[in-house]
Amino acid sequence: MQKPFPPAAHDHDACAAKALADAEKAAASRGLRFTPLRHYVLEMLLASHRPVGAYDVLGALAREDSPARPSPPTVYRALEFLLEQGFAHRVASKNAYVACFMPGARHRTHLLICRACGQAGEMANRNLEDALDDAAGRFRVEQEYVELIGLCEECARRA
């Protein structure tokens, strides 16, 4: 099972590059257009393990030296594409988005969010999924947001 938060000394550039390459490969295998805007938005989300708001993306695009300044609906469409393809996840409690660091594999999203440093980590746990399915019974789930808020190991150690 993958740990939800990267170790303090991890090579973030390498993990972000791998996630971007995996997303590009998955998009190509699905015959999808991975436009420059979609690519840029995913790179922004991959820049850290912290959730990023749509208007933060829009603000970063406005600072770019690009003649085309996307409008909020354009950025939201790019984010929606990333969500639909499993390249990003919505952080409902923060009205923000975080990159998926396992974009090649379809999976359910369960997030751990550190209230001190702001990092969001993905948690994959089949037992949790089974318990949620069992609790839902015949109820047909259309959206699922599982977010646990607390302290990551590093912040808990400092506290």
Q: What pLDDT digit, counting tens, does each position of 111-141 carry?
A: 999 999 999 998 888 899 999 999 999 999 9
Confidence of residue 106 (pLDDT cuts 50, 70, 90): confident
Higher pLDDT, 143 or 5: 143
Q: What is the pLDDT of residue 21?
A: 92
Half-sphere exposure of 108 (CA within 13 A, CB side): 17
Hey, what are 36's tokens?
């420059």
Characterize 93-132 residue by residue with b for buried, 16 or more Cβ atoms within 10 angstroms of its Cβ, and e for exposed: ebebbbbbbebeeeebbbbbbbeeeebbbbbeeeeeeeee
User: Helices 54-63 and 72-84: crossing angle, nearest 10°?
Assistant: 120
How far apart (Å, rounded) are the C-alpha atoms in residues 99 and 120?
9
In the chain the first and final C-alpha atoms are separated, in Å, by 27
Of the chain, the percentage scoring pLDDT greater than 90 comes to: 60
How far apart (Å, rounded) are the C-alpha atoms in residues 4 and 121?
4
Q: What is the CATH number of domain 12-158?
A: 1.10.10.10
Higher pLDDT, 65 or 107: 107
Hey, what are 31's tokens?
């015959």
The pTM of this model reads 0.86
Please state the rounded mean pLDDT for residues 80-91: 94
Whether residue 61 has pLDDT greater than 90: no
Whether residue 154 has pLDDT greater than 80: yes
Whether residue 1 has pLDDT greater than 60: no
Q: What is the pLDDT of residue 105?
A: 72
Q: Which residues contact 57 (CB under 8 A, 6 or more apart)?
A: 41, 44, 75, 79
